[in-house]
Amino acid sequence: MKTYLVTGGAGFIGSNYILNLLSNPQDTLRVVNIDALTYAGNLENLQSIEGDGRHSFVQADIRDQDAMQQVFDSYQPDYVVNFAAESHVDRSITNPQVFVETNVLGTLTLLNNAKRIWQTADDEDSYRTGVRFLQVSTDEVYGSLGPEGFFTETTPLDPHSPYSASKASADLLVKAFGDTYRLPVNITRCSNNYGPFQFPEKLIPLMINNAQQHRALPVYGDGLQVRDWLFVEDHCKAIELVLKRGEPGEVYNIGGHNERTNMQIVAQIIAQLAESLDDPQISEALIQHVADRKGHDRRYGIDPAKIGAALGWQPETPFEEGIVQTIRWYLEHQGWVEHVTSGAYRSYLEQMYGSR
């Protein structure tokens, strides 16, 4: 029986990954979920697997060496999948230190512990059979594209925000542990994820939430920034393929073949919500252009040809279907939305984006 140590497993992508892992009750595996439960981590994401004995939750911070040593020693994981990260670019601009501490030093703590428990006694460059460390990263480490071309795995790293710089730094540490110590590692770099359980600081859930309440829909600058959108379930399937079949030491880009401008995304959400709720007050009149983000990259585009050719992965969910599923999910889970946007974080959203 394989044991997965999943960090950040109460967050958006991490919780979707765990739900996907445990979707078949006949599968024999164990999932150890590590999450510090900061504002973006929510155990309500995992309510559907309450009582599943294959899932264990440990509230801990990946920066805490003592806590991580205890977890690794107690559970002896075969796989480490690192989702844990501070991930909101706006917050990284106002407080870069916590991003470096969590995304870089936290990743280093995990790497050191994985190396420690997986090494065989007779050879420090030899590891237990079947183990793997997978670092979940982002296309933002590549910087910004022009109007043409795509990021490939050989595109030079050129991060422009404290967030992307911290993720690039973590990636390089993972690579260094593979090169220096022969630790079996992989890095995946994905495009923008969307889907259930995404915290409403990100574009799609923020627009869905604000539009229902007839609040302003804040759009940075002219809104013509281009992003490639990937349905979270497709991303989770790709991660599992890399973990099981990826070549050690390799980087795999994961993209959705769904490039859209931010304005196109917002317009589509408005149209779908207005129709679903039969609410004429949900209209493009709610759009409010705000000062552009500092260092805002203009375009991201992922070329996922490598993972397609090597592992047979392709995105399964066209954006037109995924966005309908996502909007429906948020409409059906208003209690979840109200819970995660209450209190201190509502004040933060109003300060960051305005209360109108």
In 3D space, the residue among 350, 351, 301 whose CA is nearest the CA of residue 148 turns out to be: 301
Main-chain dihedrals φ then ψ at residue 336, nearest 5 degrees: -65, -45
Residues 6 or more apart whose Cβ sits within 8 Å of residue 45: 10, 11, 12, 15, 19, 197
64 has catalytic annotation: no
Given the residues 139, 228, 234, 240, the one annotated as active site: 139
Cross-strand pairs, 2 = 29
What is the C-alpha to C-alpha distance for residues 108 and 94, in angstroms, rounded to an integer?
Answer: 24
- Which tokens sit at 87? 């991930």
Q: Of 140, 171, 228, 297, which is the active-site residue?
A: 140
Classify burial at 17, counting beta carbons within 10 Å of its beta carbon; exposed 0-12, middle 13-18, buried 19 or more.
buried
Q: Read off the amino acid at residue 55.
A: H
* C-alpha neighbours within 13 Å on the C-beta side of residue 262: 23
Question: Active-site residue among 79, 127, 142, 163?
Answer: 163
Which string of DSSP letters, residue by residue, matches 35-65?
A: E---TT--GGGGGGGTT-TTEEEEE--TT-H
Residue 351: partners with Cβ closer than 8 Å, 6 or more residues away: none
Report whether 217 contacts 266 (CB < 8 A).
Answer: yes
139 among known catalytic residues: yes
Catalytic annotation present for 27: no
The residues assigned a catalytic role are 139-140, 163
